[in-house]
């Protein structure tokens, strides 16, 4: 028997069991060794029978006095009853529907039993305990017992039995991690780790074993990013020289002074794009920290060098808003700016928006302008990724709110940056996100990216006051809103759903989830019949959405009932109240984004949360949100509560194929990075590591 032996050849694996294992990708012994427990039951303490207490999880060691099957009158189930004693007393034991126990345990046997104690009128009893005959090295009892993610059709005992058979083979697995790293990082050898994760001697052993296996994963992620970094470094990008004088003039023309971290970020970008290898940088900055203007500076510099830029946004509303802001920012500069979304295209400084031409013709003209170089900056949605869109001399690709694009789309965008330039070349690449990412996490998720962090908000912003409002105080809240409107402010009301019947998709969901359309009815007819209320949601046509946003921005409505379409980017400085219905339906990072729609000017702003959920957990989460204004802290908390999959998209964390390691394993992440740094310059020499990366990639690919 060796690592490549098929699982079907193990003792006591039938055809069915090996089929089940295979369906999980467990084909041979090596695969099975890598099927890890997800928790452990602590059955180490051997308790005297006289000391059994109700409700405790215990192990006893004793002799079977009697054991027999009988059939229950009422339920027709088979009940196995036994009496087990040690020198301090005896205890009744009962199992249900496991008549075969009689085959393995006979009276007179010495056994370990691990399970829960139940005390009734007749004294203590063990109900359905795990049993094992007395021996020195136990598998199922009297130790830290591994509990595996259940495989349908197999019991814990069966899985444990299979793994206990093969665990000695762990010693034959070659440790692929270089010795120096193992030593320097204080790791245990791979074989020890494999033994320790399945059958830990104690907590310390378990900790060391888990750390080693987590380290493996994190280290491979690092190596993989390094390889892709090296690949990218081989590409050539246009050199964009820093046009200091013009950039300074532009900055001086802004109606505000850049914050320190805006300046640093801009400087980092301008440095990067002046090099021949393509920039790959992420700007991470809290909502409202002013990322757009940094992007604009970069695009301006690219324009001054005679290249085109493209800026992509995840929604049409946001694309249109960027288009408008850029036109404003560059009002004194002859930059030709175009907009292209699925349903919309326009361009300034040549043909004024549309100009009565029909839409198809405008679109065609813009696509041809992109190709001939008659537009300098293109703003749009993924419509820009269409085959027909080809740039003449693309210098910079910017993706705003990049976490809102899917993995496939992000790949397409990157490919576009590369394809547009021909073989071996690429445009520079900048992504931006307002879902703040703790630095360690950013390095992990985007290991092959450089990160700039805009860590402060522009001065003068007032702290947004957040309140979780009791259902009974709803009228008071409406009174407050009316008051704000009287003072000239505007209000967002965010609801989780568009229309009530869309709840059909969530059969088990809370029926009280608010929908935009019914909320709009209520607000406009009952609560605020005298105010100007409008609704907005993602299913409206792009033109309608735009028009509503433009009019809201212009102050034509007081209250906008909407969905998460306004989650990212939307900038309406006059709005001072963000009211969120069904707040429990949103993640903390998302709530923070909503909150970021207000407080974008000098007015004191408010975020009012409503929830119909009585769940203690969601209330706690909302309470935390109430007291925390720092997006980074919220993102970390979100990570803790919901895990990276939900916060940053399953694809992003799934991509890395982490099975044990968590993105919150900060210390290990740092260790893995440090270790990777040592060998990256000479990676080709470490063939066992490279082989491991390849195996791992194949595996990820198959899963």
CA 373, 374, 379, 384 dihedral sign is negative
Task: Report CA 27 to chain centroid distance, whole Å.
Answer: 30
**Per-residue binding letters, 525-544, with ligand ADP (x by CB under 6 A):** --------------------
Q: Is 259 in the site for ligand ADP (CB under 6 A)?
A: yes
Q: Which of 139, 280, 292, 362 binds ligand ADP (CB under 6 A)?
A: 292
> CB of residue 276 vs Mg ion: minimum separation in angstroms?
30
Q: d(Cα 99, Cα 287) in Å, to the nearest integer?
A: 63
> CB of residue 321 vs ligand ADP: minimum separation in angstroms?
8
Q: Is 289 in the site for ligand ADP (CB under 6 A)?
A: yes
Q: Which of 194, 213, 258, 396 binds ligand ADP (CB under 6 A)?
A: 258
Q: d(Cα 472, Cα 467) in Å, to the nearest integer?
A: 14
> CB of residue 254 vs ligand ADP: minimum separation in angstroms?
8
**Per-residue binding letters, 127-166, with ligand ADP (x by CB under 6 A):** ----------------------------------------
Q: Is 455 in the site for ligand ADP (CB under 6 A)?
A: no
Residue with Cβ nearer ligand ADP (257 or 554): 257
DSSP 524: I
> CB of residue 454 vs Mg ion: minimum separation in angstroms?
11
Residue 307: name the closest of 375, 228, 254 by CA. Answer: 375
> CB of residue 295 vs Mg ion: minimum separation in angstroms?
9
Q: Which two tokens stand for residue 347?
A: 């361009």
Q: d(Cα 219, Cα 225) in Å, to the nearest integer?
A: 10
Beta bridge partners of 59: 46, 114
The binder of 635, among Mg ion, ligand ADP, none, by C-beta within 5 to 8 A per type, is none
Q: Is 679 in the site for ligand ADP (CB under 6 A)?
A: no
**Region binding ligand ADP by CB under 6 A among candidate stretches 56-64, 282-290, 486-494, 543-551:** 282-290
Phi, psi of 437 (to 5 degrees): -120, 125
Residue with Cβ nearer ligand ADP (459 or 507): 459
Residues within window 599-638 making contact with ligand ADP, judged by CB under 6 A: 600
Site size with ligand ADP, rule: CB under 6 A: 19
Say if residues 6 and 31 touch (Cβ distance below 8 Å). no
Residue 384: name the closest of 325, 414, 328, 339 by CA. Answer: 339
Q: d(Cα 18, Cα 8) in Å, to the nearest integer?
A: 5
**Per-residue binding letters, 458-497, with ligand ADP (x by CB under 6 A):** x---------------------------------------
Q: Which of 38, 96, 100, 256 binds ligand ADP (CB under 6 A)?
A: 256
Buried b (16+ CB within 10 A) or exposed e, 452-466: bbbbebbeebeebeb
Residue with Cβ nearer ligand ADP (237 or 434): 434
**Region binding Mg ion by CB under 5 A among candidate stretches 441-449, 476-484, 525-533, 561-569:** 561-569
Q: Which two tokens stand for residue 121?
A: 């009128």
Q: d(Cα 522, Cα 242) in Å, to the nearest integer?
A: 55
Residues within window 194-213 making contact with ligand ADP, judged by CB under 6 A: none
Q: Residue 246: helix, strand or coil by DSSP?
A: helix
Q: Which two tokens stand for residue 371?
A: 């190709």
Q: Which of 26, 64, 82, 287 binds ligand ADP (CB under 6 A)?
A: 287
Q: d(Cα 391, Cα 396) in Å, to the nearest integer?
A: 11
Q: Is 196 in the site for Mg ion (CB under 5 A)?
A: no
**Region binding ligand ADP by CB under 6 A among candidate stretches 44-52, 290-298, 463-471, 673-681:** 290-298
Q: Is 305 in the site for ligand ADP (CB under 6 A)?
A: no
**Region binding ligand ADP by CB under 6 A among candidate stretches 135-143, 242-250, 285-293, 362-370:** 285-293
Residue nearest to ligand ADP (CB): 290
**Per-residue binding letters, 566-605, with Mg ion (x by CB under 5 A):** ---x------------------------------------
Residue with Cβ nearer ligand ADP (229 or 263): 263
Q: Is 571 in the site for ligand ADP (CB under 6 A)?
A: yes
> CB of residue 367 vs ligand ADP: minimum separation in angstroms?
28
Residue 607: name the closest of 590, 349, 244 by CA. Answer: 590
Say if residues 175 and 5 touch (Cβ distance below 8 Å). no
Type and span of the H or E element at 594: helix 588-595
Distances (CA, A) of 647 to 285, 319, 433, 492, 639: 16, 23, 13, 24, 6
Residue 645: CB atoms within 10 A of its CB come to: 13
**Region binding ligand ADP by CB under 6 A among candidate stretches 47-55, 245-253, 289-297, 462-470:** 289-297
Quick one: 657 exposed, middle or buried, by C-beta within 10 A (0-12, 13-18, 19+)?
middle
Q: Which two tokens stand for residue 587?
A: 């993640």
Q: Which two tokens stand for residue 115?
A: 């399970």
Q: Which two tokens stand for residue 700?
A: 């990820």
Residues within window 506-535 making contact with Mg ion, judged by CB under 5 A: none
Beta strands in 274-390 (DSSP E): 280-285, 308-312, 337-341, 344-347, 377-380
Q: Is 590 in the site for ligand ADP (CB under 6 A)?
A: no
> CB of residue 400 vs ligand ADP: minimum separation in angstroms?
7
Say if residues 398 and 432 touch (Cβ distance below 8 Å). yes
Q: Is 434 in the site for ligand ADP (CB under 6 A)?
A: yes
Helices (H) and strands (E) in the chain — how many of each? 23, 21
> CB of residue 578 vs ligand ADP: minimum separation in angstroms?
14
Nearest 5°: the CA angle 247, 248, 250 is 65
> CB of residue 402 vs Mg ion: minimum separation in angstroms?
11
DSSP 597: T
> CB of residue 457 vs Mg ion: minimum separation in angstroms?
13
**Per-residue binding letters, 477-496, with Mg ion (x by CB under 5 A):** --------------------
Q: Which two tokens stand for residue 295?
A: 């992007």
Residue with Cβ nearer ligand ADP (262 or 426): 262
Task: Report CA 475 to chain centroid distance, whole Å.
Answer: 37
Q: Is 285 in the site for ligand ADP (CB under 6 A)?
A: yes
Q: Which two tokens stand for residue 624?
A: 């935390």
The binder of 585, among ligand ADP, Mg ion, none, by C-beta within 5 to 8 A per type, is none
Residue 492: name the closest of 605, 654, 401 by CA. Answer: 605
Q: Is 437 in the site for ligand ADP (CB under 6 A)?
A: no
Say if residues 13 and 162 touch (Cβ distance below 8 Å). yes
The binder of 262, among ligand ADP, Mg ion, none, by C-beta within 5 to 8 A per type, is ligand ADP
Give contact residues for ligand ADP (rule: CB under 6 A). Answer: 256-259, 262, 285, 287-293, 434, 458, 569, 571, 573, 600
Give contact residues for Mg ion (rule: CB under 5 A). Answer: 569
């Amino acid at each position: 028997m060796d690592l490549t032996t098929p699982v079907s050849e193990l003792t006591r694996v039938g055809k069915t069991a090996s089929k089940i294992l295979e369906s999980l990708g467990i084909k041979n012994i090596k695969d099975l060794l890598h099927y890890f427990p997800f928790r452990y039951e602590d059955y180490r303490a051997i308790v005297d029978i006289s000391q059994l207490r109700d409700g405790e999880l215990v192990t006893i060691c004793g002799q079977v006095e009697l054991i027999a099957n009988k059939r229950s009158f009422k339920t027709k189930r088979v009940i196995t009853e036994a009496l087990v004693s040690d020198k301090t007393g005896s205890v009744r034991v009962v199992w249900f529907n496991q008549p075969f126990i009689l085959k393995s345990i006979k009276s007179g046997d010495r056994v370990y039993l691990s399970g829960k104690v139940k005390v009734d009128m007749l004294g203590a009893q063990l109900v359905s305990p795990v049993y094992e005959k007395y021996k020195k090295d136990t598998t199922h009892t009297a130790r830290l017992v591994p509990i595996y993610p259940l495989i349908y059709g197999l019991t814990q005992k069966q899985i444990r039995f299979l793994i206990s058979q093969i665990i000695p083979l762990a010693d034959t697995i070659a440790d692929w991690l270089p010795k120096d790293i193992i030593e320097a990082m204080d790791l245990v050898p791979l074989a020890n780790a494999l033994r320790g994760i399945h059958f830990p001697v104690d907590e310390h052993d378990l900790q060391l074993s888990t750390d080693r296996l987590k380290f493996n994963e994190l280290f491979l992620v690092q190596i993989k990013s390094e390889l892709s970094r090296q690949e990218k470094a081989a590409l050539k990008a246009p050199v964009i020289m820093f046009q200091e004088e013009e950039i300074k003039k532009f900055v001086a023309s802004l109606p505000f002074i850049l914050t320190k971290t805006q300046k640093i970020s801009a400087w980092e970008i301008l440095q990067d794009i002046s090099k021949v290898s393509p920039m790959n940088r992420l700007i991470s900055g809290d909502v409202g920290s002013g990322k757009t203007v940094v992007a604009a500076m970069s695009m301006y510099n690219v324009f001054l060098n005679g290249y085109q830029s493209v800026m992509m946004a995840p929604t049409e509303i946001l694309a249109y808003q960027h288009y408008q802001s850029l036109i404003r920012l560059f009002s004194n500069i002859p930059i030709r700016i175009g907009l292209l979304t699925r349903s919309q295209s326009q361009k300034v400084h040549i043909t004024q928006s549309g100009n009565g031409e029909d839409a198809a013709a405008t679109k065609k003209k813009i696509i041809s302008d992109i190709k001939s170089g008659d537009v300098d900056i293109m703003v749009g949605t993924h419509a820009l990724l269409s085959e027909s869109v080809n740039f003449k001399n693309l210098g910079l690709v910017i993706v705003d709110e990049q976490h809102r694009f899917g993995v496939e789309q992000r790949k397409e965008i990157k490919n576009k940056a590369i394809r547009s330039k021909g073989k071996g070349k690429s445009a520079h690449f900048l992504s931006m996100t307002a879902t703040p990412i703790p630095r360690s996490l950013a390095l992990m998720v985007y290991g092959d990216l450089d990160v700039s962090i805009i860590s402060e908000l522009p001065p003068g912003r007032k702290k947004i006051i957040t309140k979780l409002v009791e259902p009974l105080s709803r009228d008071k809240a409406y009174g407050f809103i009316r008051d704000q409107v009287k003072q000239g402010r505007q209000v967002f009301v965010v609801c989780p759903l568009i229309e009530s019947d869309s709840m059909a998709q969530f059969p088990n969901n809370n029926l009280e989830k608010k929908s935009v359309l019914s909320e709009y009815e209520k607000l406009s007819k009952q609560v605020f019949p005298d105010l100007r209320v409008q609704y907005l949601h993602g299913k409206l046509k792009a033109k309608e959405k735009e028009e509503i946003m433009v009019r809201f921005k212009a102050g034509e409505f007081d209250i906008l009932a909407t969905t998460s379409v306004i989650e990212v980017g939307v900038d309406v400085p006059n709005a001072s109240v963000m009211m969120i219905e069904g707040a429990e339906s949103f993640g903390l990072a998302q709530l923070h984004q909503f909150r970021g729609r207000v407080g974008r000017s000098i007015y004191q702003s408010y975020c009012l949360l409503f929830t119909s959920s009585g769940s203690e957990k969601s209330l706690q989460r909302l309470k935390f949100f109430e007291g925390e204004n720092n997006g980074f802290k919220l993102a970390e908390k979100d990570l803790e509560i919901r895990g990276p999959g939900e916060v940053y998209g399953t694809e992003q964390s799934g991509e890395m194929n982490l099975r044990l390691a968590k993105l919150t394993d900060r210390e290990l992440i740092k260790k893995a990075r440090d270790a990777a740094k040592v060998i990256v310059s000479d990676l080709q020499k470490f063939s066992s590591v490279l082989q491991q990366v390849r195996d791992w990639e194949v595996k990820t690919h198959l899963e």
